[in-house]
Structure 1
Amino acid sequence: MMNSLSQHNIYIVDLSRYYAKAPRGKYYLVYAPLKGAFFIADNISPDAIPQHLLSPDNDALMRPHVSHPSQFSKLSILPNLTCNFKCAYCYSAKGRSRSVISEEHITTMLDYFVDGARIADRELGIFISGGGEPTLTWDKVVFAVNYAEQRAQSQGKTLNIMLMSNGSLIDDTIANFIKQHGINIGISFDILPEVQNSQRGKYDLVAANIKRLLSIGVIPSVSAVITPDNVCLMTQMVQEIVNNFSGIKHLNFDPAVSDELFASEAELRAFYHSFADNFFNARALSGQHNITLDCNAIRHAQKIFPRYCEGKLCLVPNGDISMCHTVSSPKEIHYNDFTYGDVRDGMVKFDMAVFSRLVNSDNYLMDRCHDCIARWHCAGGCMMCRLNYNADKMSAVCDFTADMTTRLLLHRLDEAMRRKYNKSIEEML
């Protein structure tokens, strides 16, 4: 049954998994992602599905959105591979070095990227992050921003610049530069003092610098990594933002991706179940205060994706170009697999054989994807996640993603039913 429906991009979930009142095999969530339709039904035979919801596999959707690096409208720049923190869950800790990006590499890449002849898009995005902590080499950040703005003006482009920081080095000079240039600033911050000090460190300093930004009208987003130590504290984290960081309007809570944190598949599954329960409770609280709370699974569940990630144009400190900003150092085991170009002698060069391998559709969809409710959202999942986890743990990741997608759809249906019938889904079953 499921296979015949999924051939038409219709996906079903037995509601007995989510509601005690629902007998097994009685009620189903039916989802047609390519038609934007979802509903609850007690008859899921193919003949019972409205014909207008059936969608054959769409070959056009399966083609890479980016078939050549010249089509990228977003650029990542990693100024350095050094950091003043030792976060418990850091994905790049093994790649640390004293490597710092050169101004020549910055100008060559920006000349290529911000070019009206290369791409028609008027707005381009630049994401400055690390490999390390970008503000440790603040002069390189300033140089990149100033040069990008000058280049954009000459090429008739507008820029959306994002800076990701641990927040520890943001003094008045940095804060005012961020404001003056309209940079969107994101702070990696675990919010609760005991958690921040345990997992990242320097709570008092980072909290003060966030308030420094808020005091001059710069509203940062806050990204927290969720581990077994704070998975049950997400509602408290939201309340802490409400109480002590008034003005912040966007939070991102994502589960840690770390093989060392979870000894077994069972531990990872238990963590994910707790994450899902607590995330939606925290999201309800954040909504009451007009604060958005996201995670990658939820963000992806709200759009159609032929693949999880189209790849990136990411300039790392030594001048190489990586497909992912989480792979930035030659010390990392997967570095050679992810680098597909470089900036050398005033030119940007690409190895198209490597690039094509990385964006090829055969490289990311798994067999189980075709019958999964998250098929057109997760779309095979993050390549780095697969590299971190074995097959058993990756199965737990897949089930978690499907669960988060299902819960989001059920929350939306529940809200609609409460508005229309003044009853919840559970009350109506």
Structure 2
Amino acid sequence: MTRSNNRLYAFSRLGKYFVIDTYTGSSFEVDEPVYRYIHDSIPSNEGREGVEEIYSVLDNPPSREEILAIVENLEKRTHRALCLNVTHTCNLACRYCFAAQGTYGGPRNIMSEDVAKAAIDWLVVTDAKTVDIDIFGGEPLLAWDLVLFILEYGTKKAEEEGKRIRFSLTTNGVLLTKDKLDVLNEYDVNLTLSIDGDKWHNDMFRITPDRKGTFDTIIENFLEVERTRKGYNYYVRGTYTKWTIDFASTVQYLADLGFKVISMEPVTGSGMPWHITMDDIPRIEEEYEKLAHIFLDYARKGKPFIFYHFDLHRVNPPSLVRRFTACGAGLEYMAVAPDGTIYPCHQFDGVKEFAMGNVKNLKPYEEPRQNIRKIFVHANALRKSPCTTCPFRTLCGGGCHAVGYFTTGDVMKPDPVQCEIIKLRLQYAIAVNAFDEYPTSV
């Protein structure tokens, strides 16, 4: 059945067999004959009957034109999430930092209360019932007084407008004292805690300007987050490189420390010896295989943790729009630099051709530069040429626009290395979710 080759994609992981409906992203665990029928074109009655059974339960998906009409209607929707890049400075000098050690390639700068106020005022009058503010940097805790202002003023303005507001903050942890954590807990701020694993892995790249490691400074601060939150509303985010590619053992180490929600992200690109390249994909596949076994083994032993990229609720959103547009950068989500300049997301901060205006000059309900918004309306998995034939397009949404831009020079061309990593992530996420041991809570 050639039809099955067009719509169904088969793969095998962890001793199980799976089929993905490439039109919708739905996945099915199947028997080996069905897998062989689709994957290897090996005919058998059992395989054919299994494929026919899958087709019998598949919905008729909307056409490409219908999906495009829905997705590209986003141009008419308003922003509902802002990343406030409160500092263009940092107290660390991480060697792999995409933001040039927090400066974004420009002068060191800290956002004023006036800019933060203008950004919040612009956000809360949107038509969304819930709005989000991500407090970012640089290192945002260098501007603690401003963080307090954002939390207090944002809460007040949201209440006045009858909106729900959610806050998040990313920190390297050096300045995360107990007093600050108490305030962040009071406002229920979702925390992203940057740590790359044990002392050796972390201090390879996460260093101070005078080249000292940071592990000993931050580890107790981060453990205090877990002690007070017990797996709630935070995650530790590590970064792995060609030199620290053994991320399965790193995740295991962090889980052994007691952290309940963990993510590991790759540094791809070219020009630096630690950049992950296509040559590293076989090793990354090995690491995901190891990690999947660790993950399930810990769940069996009553020590469950959440690995961010194994959580299908995070990587496979129910919204049709989200399945084809990923994060919504430049449309529903934007970033504001310390001087008030608006960018499609924090990674585009400082890239002048993507500047979308300034919050100090925008009127309520006004959307910034439409020509930039149009770029991101079209940057979806139905229009990016490598994505149109990819079986994982409805689970990925076209990948990170910024990573694509910085590696290929075009937001319409995903980073091919990232693509291969995402395919591995998704296959292992689907596979571990098929086991009864998969943890539903931690």
Shorter chain as denominator, the TM-score bin is 0.7 to 0.9
Per-residue deviation, residues 390-423 of structure 1 (Å, max 9, x unmatched): 599933332332233223333344x26x99xxxx
Residue 279 of structure 1 aligns with an amino acid whose one-letter code is: L
Q: Could you say what secondary structure the match of 1:67 adopts? A: helix
Is contact 1:13-1:29 (8 Å) kept? yes
The RMSD of aligned alpha carbons is 3.4
TM-score normalised per structure 2: 0.78
Corresponding residue for residue 19 of structure 2: 29
TM-score normalised per structure 1: 0.80
Corresponding residue for residue 78 of structure 1: 85
Distance (Å, rounded) in 2 between the aligned partners of 1:237 and 1:80: 29
Is contact 1:297-1:401 (8 Å) kept? no
Corresponding residue for residue 365 of structure 1: 383
- 1:146-295 aligned at under 5 Å gives the runs 146-200=152-206, 201-217=213-229, 220-242=234-256, 244=257, 246=258, 248-259=259-270, 260-261=272-273, 265-285=277-297, 287=299, 288-295=302-309
Distance (Å, rounded) in 2 between the aligned partners of 1:302 and 1:353: 27
Q: 1:69 Cα deviation (Å)?
A: 7.8
Distance (Å, rounded) in 1 between the aligned partners of 2:380 and 2:192: 34
Residue 405 of structure 1 aligns with an amino acid whose one-letter code is: L
Q: Could you say what secondary structure the match of 1:366 adopts? A: coil
Is contact 1:297-1:404 (8 Å) kept? no
Per-residue deviation, residues 10-45 of structure 1 (Å, max 9, x unmatched): 231354xx589x9xxxx8735356273424314447
Corresponding residue for residue 375 of structure 1: 393
Give the direction of change, closer, same or farther, for the CA distance of 1:185–1:409 in structure 2 (3 Å limit). closer
Q: Could you say what secondary structure the match of 1:84 adopts? A: coil
Residue 79 of structure 2 aligns with an amino acid whose one-letter code is: F
Distance (Å, rounded) in 1 between the aligned partners of 2:343 and 2:261: 28
Q: 1:179 Cα deviation (Å)?
A: 2.1
Give the direction of change, closer, same or farther, for the CA distance of 1:268–1:385 in structure 2 (3 Å limit). farther
Corresponding residue for residue 341 of structure 1: 357
Q: Could you say what secondary structure the match of 1:163 adopts? A: strand
Distance (Å, rounded) in 2 between the aligned partners of 1:127 and 1:92: 16
Residue 76 of structure 1 aligns with an amino acid whose one-letter code is: C
Moved segments of 4+, more than 6 Å: none
Distance (Å, rounded) in 2 between the aligned partners of 1:28 and 1:393: 25
Corresponding residue for residue 209 of structure 2: none
Q: Could you say what secondary structure the match of 1:186 adopts? A: strand
Q: Could you say what secondary structure the match of 2:222 adopts? A: helix
Question: How many residues matched?
Answer: 395
The answer as to 2:97 corresponding to 1:97 is no
Distance (Å, rounded) in 2 between the aligned partners of 1:340 and 1:393: 22
Q: Which moved more, 1:90-99 or 1:283-292?
A: 283-292
Corresponding residue for residue 368 of structure 2: 350
Distance (Å, rounded) in 2 between the aligned partners of 1:222 and 1:263: 21
Q: 2:403 aligns with which of 377, 385, 397?
A: 385
5+ long unaligned stretches in structure 2: 39-47, 207-212
Distance (Å, rounded) in 2 between the aligned partners of 1:271 and 1:393: 21
The answer as to 2:8 corresponding to 1:11 is yes
Corresponding residue for residue 43 of structure 2: none
Q: Which moved more, 1:277-286 or 1:401-410?
A: 277-286
Is contact 1:314-1:322 (8 Å) kept? yes
5+ long unaligned stretches in structure 1: 330-334, 420-429
Give the direction of change, closer, same or farther, for the CA distance of 1:205–1:393 in structure 2 (3 Å limit). same
Give the direction of change, closer, same or farther, for the CA distance of 1:212–1:294 in structure 2 (3 Å limit). closer
Residue 98 of structure 1 aligns with an amino acid whose one-letter code is: R
Residue 419 of structure 2 aligns with an amino acid whose one-letter code is: C
Is contact 2:295-2:304 (8 Å) kept? no
Distance (Å, rounded) in 1 between the aligned partners of 2:404 and 2:225: 37
The answer as to 2:324 corresponding to 1:319 is no
Per-residue deviation, residues 129-149 of structure 1 (Å, max 9, x unmatched): 12x101111111111111101
Is contact 1:265-1:393 (8 Å) kept? no
Per-residue deviation, residues 88-134 of structure 1 (Å, max 9, x unmatched): 2211115253222121111112112112xx3141x22111112x101
Distance (Å, rounded) in 2 between the aligned partners of 1:361 and 1:13: 27
Give the direction of change, closer, same or farther, for the CA distance of 1:318–1:278 in structure 2 (3 Å limit). farther
Q: 1:316 Cα deviation (Å)?
A: 1.2
Distance (Å, rounded) in 1 between the aligned partners of 2:18 and 2:226: 46
Give the direction of change, closer, same or farther, for the CA distance of 1:280–1:103 in structure 2 (3 Å limit). same
Identity across the alignment (%): 18
Residue 383 of structure 1 aligns with an amino acid whose one-letter code is: H
